[in-house]
Amino acid sequence: MTAGKRSTGPCAAPGCGRDARTKGFCSTHYEHNRKCGDPLSRRERIDRFLADLVSSPTDQCVSWPFAVSSAGYGVVIHDGKMMTALRAALVMLTGENPSGMDAAHGACHNRLCCNPHPEHGASWKTRADNMADKGRDGTARAGSDIPSSRLREWQVRSIHAARASGEPASALAERYGVSEATIGAICSGRRWRHLGLPPVSRKWTRRKAGSP
């Protein structure tokens, strides 16, 4: 670059490393900041989040702040493939991507959790072992009677996200072992109001007589 003399130090965008050109940013990040109000593109923010996650071991649950599948799992495209965010993080942490193995949560079973660290109990598991754990911990207890008051916060968030993306209330009721009225109450904001989730459109939540 011939204009090297004008450099004022490194670009302020996290992880960039190029020389700053304009208002503290390199030309790419200056342009993105001007157009979008954020110097980093969505992909860069995702990559940044994953890199920070993998390099900072913690025993805490870490909820994925980007795309969520209709089943309530954090998802991301990594190495050109769609996978769960936990799997992507575990691939980055372990350096392997064993086909036929699941990226398994530890005790939390928070579908949004993407913490790949053994400190939080995450590991590669065979599909059979993973399903056995899910059965034991109640994650896959579709149809069994989990009182709605025992839904955990992350489950309520998953239900809300799935409903908002159009998944039928009946399917969610079956998966989580609660009534459709409970699904409706979550999506209208009548219950778990403290989570601050926006009401899902009424045409999705309206149900048979008996629910208001």
Cβ pair 50, 89 in contact under 8 A: yes
Q: Which residues pair with 103 in a beta bridge?
A: 124
Residue 12 interacting with Zn ion (CB under 5 A): no
SS3 for 39-50, per residue? CCCHHHHHHHHH
Cβ 108 to Zn ion shortest distance, Å: 3
Cβ 89 to Zn ion shortest distance, Å: 11
Cβ pair 59, 51 in contact under 8 A: no
Stretch that binds Zn ion, among 53-61, 65-73, 94-102, 178-186 (CB under 5 A): 53-61
Cβ 61 to Zn ion shortest distance, Å: 3
Q: With contacts defined by CB under 5 A, how many residues of the chain interact with Zn ion? A: 10
Q: Which helix (H) or strand (E) holds 202?
A: helix 202-205
State the CB neighbour count (10 A cutoff) for residue 127. Answer: 11
Who's near 139: CB < 8 A, 6+ residues apart? 109
Q: Of residues 19-48, which lie at the interface with Zn ion (CB under 5 A)?
A: 26, 29
- The site string for Zn ion over 124-143 (x = CB under 5 A, - otherwise) reads --------------------
What does the block give as tokens for 33? 């900041």
Cβ 88 to Zn ion shortest distance, Å: 15
Q: What are the b/e assignments for 88-116, b being 16+ CB within 10 Å? A: bbbbbbbeebeeebbbbbbebbbbbbbbb
Q: Pick between residue 120 and residue 173 the one whose CB is nearest to Zn ion.
A: 120
Cβ 202 to Zn ion shortest distance, Å: 33
- The site string for Zn ion over 166-205 (x = CB under 5 A, - otherwise) reads ----------------------------------------
- The site string for Zn ion over 88-127 (x = CB under 5 A, - otherwise) reads --------------------x-x--x--------------
Residue ranges of E strands in 54-99: 75-78, 81-84
Cβ 78 to Zn ion shortest distance, Å: 19
Q: Which residues bind Zn ion (CB under 5 A)?
A: 11, 13, 16, 18, 26, 29, 61, 108, 110, 113
